[in-house]
Amino acid sequence: MSINLIYKSILEAIIENINAGIHVVDHNSKTIFYNKFMSELEGLDIKEVMGKSILEIFPFLTEETSTVLTVLKTKKPIYLKNQTYLNTYGKQINTINSTIPFKISPTKYGALEIAKDITKEKELLKKLEILQQELASTDTNKKQIKGYTFKCIIGEDDGFLDTISFAKAASKSSSTVFIYGETGTGKELFAQSIHNESDRQNKPFIAQNCAALPETLLEGILFGTTKGSFTGAINRPGLFEQADGGTLLLDEINSMGLPLQAKLLRVLQEGFIRRLGGLTDIPCNVRIIATTNEEPMKAIKRNALRKDLYYRLNVINIRIPPLRNRKKDIPLLAEHFIKKYNIGLQKDVWDLSKEVQNSFLQYDWPGNVRELENIIESAMNMIDNEHILKPKHFSTKIKDLIIKSDEIEDINISLTEENTLDNVLNNIEKELIIKSLDESSFNITKAAKKLGIKRQSLQHKIKKHKIERK
Ligand SMILES: Nc1ncnc2c1ncn2[C@@H]1O[C@H](COP(=O)(O)OP(=O)(O)OP(=O)(O)O)[C@@H](O)[C@H]1O
Ligand SMILES: [Mg+2]
């Protein structure tokens, strides 16, 4: 193969595979090359463009506005020019173009235009700017500094009290903290309390939910941007710099993409950050508190959390138990929220009725303390000139529960040859036993009490129905 043919095929391979649009015209501005990338960018068919002049393809251009025509005339290159236009599908496209003249014969010049698509970067940049402005103008995160302290954490369950003591001890150090707890268990409450009890209390506390932003934006928000890191980006500090000397809460860290997790790990190990596109290492002194509402080992298994990052973050490990495992705290929390909303809503509520109290103890609170607070707030909006919160003040969900705990549901069963009375009764008995065991975490004494039968009798029935602990 001649050297020219080799060059030709190399060139063709580059033109077809390069991540940029390429449009080449001869001295008459007629297209002699138009690659697939450019065709997708501009929404034009390669066949429609080949052999046609620039003004035939883009009739809205003039000799002055077309970079290709300008270069053909001046024979001088135009580098890195920003262009914004609507393609044939009406989508706004942002590109950076370079247009370069090349010699065809001693007197004739053609032009080569290379376009880099920066539409996505532009869109991201816009979002990033809005977010950064919001952050700078409202400054809400920083205002939370004076938010929660350990005094705000209500609970008397032994396990929960241990968690509080452990968190208090954690506030005396600067090590990273990993908090795991289901939604609404108080992770943010603990994180703020740790900050406010630490010697960083007069420095910023900034919280960032990692699930709230797409990866590229989150990276810019956390580490900051430099001018030119992508088109139009300006020098802006990220949260690491803004939280300097203070605490940065990274909520739902398991929603952060793995590449960014790797970057975060590097920052934690080295103690320096680098703004996006920046060249300087900026030392950072920020205490990190990370949270998940998913069991961390599960998150690692499903590849949502890097194991190495987890172990780096998990210097101090706090697990907040779900409300259903510390039902002892429910009356106390209910009292606390009643007091809070007596003030907020100007009511004079004294207590929950017995039925409501019982149903609260039976309910398993998937939304934990937040759900309890919301349910009480909503009921207190319904009460007028009364002092006790009764079933009628609650929404359907909790009302259903109250009714279920007071009455046996209507039975709608027809007996058949196999479905004898004995079978049906046996099944009902088995279901009620399983339910009580479930609700009392398989504590036989408690379950027997609930069912109103003796412990021994329950044990006998468990054997009879072959019920096993899940
Ligand atoms: N032990 C507690 N004492 C008093 N209030 C509590 C307690 N636990 C949680 N709360 C209240 O419940 C609400 C939810 O708490 P928080 O926002 O800290 O939960 P979270 O675990 O961060 O939830 P999520 O995973 O959904 O972000 C808050 O209003 C908080 O004040
Ligand atoms: Mg939270």
Residue 29 has pLDDT above 70, yes or no: yes
Kindly give the number of the ligand 1 atom that is closest to the alpha carbon of 209.
27
Q: What is the pLDDT of residue 192?
A: 96
Q: What is the pLDDT of residue 146?
A: 52
Average pLDDT for residues 184-196, to the nearest whole number? 96
**Which residue minimizes the CA distance to atom 31 of ligand 1?**
189
* Cα-to-centroid distance, 341 and ligand 1 (Å): 16
Which three-class secondary structure state does DSSP give residue 318?
strand
Q: What is the pLDDT of residue 274?
A: 92
Q: What is the pLDDT of residue 403?
A: 56
Residue 328 has pLDDT above 80, yes or no: yes
Task: Give yes or no for a contact between 198 and 248, defined as CB atoms under 8 angstroms apart.
Answer: no
Closest CA to 357 of 375, 341, 344: 375
Scan for tokens 């088109």, then name that residue: 231
Q: What is the pLDDT of residue 409?
A: 43
**pLDDT > 70: percent of the chain:** 90
Residue 233 has pLDDT above 50, yes or no: yes
Residue 234 has pLDDT above 80, yes or no: no
Of the pLDDT bands very low, low, confident and very high (cuts 50, 70, 90), residue 410 is very low
- Class of the 3-117 domain? alpha beta
* Cα-to-centroid distance, 186 and ligand 2 (Å): 7
Of the pLDDT bands very low, low, confident and very high (cuts 50, 70, 90), residue 133 is low
Closest CA to 296 of 178, 185, 162, 207: 178
Counted residue by residue, the chain has a size of 470
Which three-class secondary structure state does DSSP give residue 57?
helix
**Which residue minimizes the CA distance to atom 15 of ligand 1?**
186
Q: Is the domain covering 421-464 a CATH 1.10.10 domain? A: yes
Of the pLDDT bands very low, low, confident and very high (cuts 50, 70, 90), residue 231 is low
> pLDDT averaged over the chain?
87
Q: Where in the chain is the domain with CATH 1.10.8.60?
A: 328-406
Q: Quick check: pTM over 0.95?
A: no
Instruction: Return the DSSP state at 139.
Output: -
* Cα-to-centroid distance, 72 and ligand 2 (Å): 60
Cβ neighbours around 129 below 10 Å, total? 16
* Cα-to-centroid distance, 363 and ligand 2 (Å): 22
Q: Where in the chain is the domain with CATH 3.40.50.300?
A: 122-321
Report d(CA 387, CA 397) in Å as an integer.
Answer: 22
Q: Where in the chain is the domain with CATH 3.30.450.20?
A: 3-117
Handedness of CA 261, 266, 269, 275 (dihedral sign): negative
Closest CA to 323 of 379, 370, 380: 370
Q: Where in the chain is the domain with CATH 1.10.10?
A: 421-464
Q: What is the pLDDT of residue 368?
A: 96
Average pLDDT for residues 301-325, to the nearest whole number? 95
Of the pLDDT bands very low, low, confident and very high (cuts 50, 70, 90), residue 8 is confident
In this structure, of 134-148, 161-175, 210-224, the range with the lowest mean pLDDT score is 134-148
pLDDT digits (tens, 9 = 90+) for 255-265: 999 999 999 99
Average pLDDT for residues 214-238, to the nearest whole number? 82
For the ranges 118-122, 126-130, 237-241, the maximum mean pLDDT occurs at 237-241
In this structure, of 7-11, 217-221, 231-235, 439-443, the range with the lowest mean pLDDT score is 231-235
Of the pLDDT bands very low, low, confident and very high (cuts 50, 70, 90), residue 142 is very low
* Cα-to-centroid distance, 214 and ligand 2 (Å): 18
Kindly give the number of the ligand 1 atom that is closest to the alpha carbon of 185.
21
Report d(CA 235, CA 227) in Å as an integer.
Answer: 5
Q: What is the pLDDT of residue 470?
A: 65
Q: Which residues pair with 352 in a beta bridge?
A: 389
- Paired tokens of 358: 């019982």
The CB of 369 under 6 Å from ligand 1? The reply is yes
Helices (DSSP H) in 108-214: which residue ranges? Answer: 119-138, 140-143, 158-170, 187-197
Residue 377 has pLDDT above 60, yes or no: yes
| % helix, strand, coil for the chain, step of 5 | 50, 15, 35
pLDDT digits (tens, 9 = 90+) for 31-53: 999 999 999 888 889 998 999 99
Report d(CA 392, CA 378) in Å as an integer.
Answer: 12
More confident position, 418 or 365:
365
Crossing angle, helix 329-344 and helix 354-362, to 10 degrees?
Answer: 120
Q: What is the pLDDT of residue 10?
A: 84
Average pLDDT for residues 208-214, to the nearest whole number? 88
Q: Which ligand is nearest to the CA of 370?
A: 1
CATH of domain 122-321: 3.40.50.300
Scan for tokens 């990993």, then name that residue: 178
Q: What is the pLDDT of residue 412?
A: 54
The CB of 188 under 6 Å from ligand 1? The reply is yes
Kindly give the number of the ligand 1 atom that is closest to the alpha carbon of 329.
1
Average pLDDT for residues 181-185, to the nearest whole number? 96
Cβ neighbours around 16 below 10 Å, total? 11
Residue 57 has pLDDT above 80, yes or no: yes
**Which residue minimizes the CA distance to atom 23 of ligand 1?**
184
Of the pLDDT bands very low, low, confident and very high (cuts 50, 70, 90), residue 143 is very low
Which CA distances in Å does 357 have to 18, 157, 303, 328, 401? 68, 17, 42, 12, 11
Of the pLDDT bands very low, low, confident and very high (cuts 50, 70, 90), residue 404 is low
In this structure, of 171-185, 207-221, 416-430, 434-448, the range with the lowest mean pLDDT score is 416-430
CATH of domain 328-406: 1.10.8.60
Average pLDDT for residues 209-234, to the nearest whole number? 82
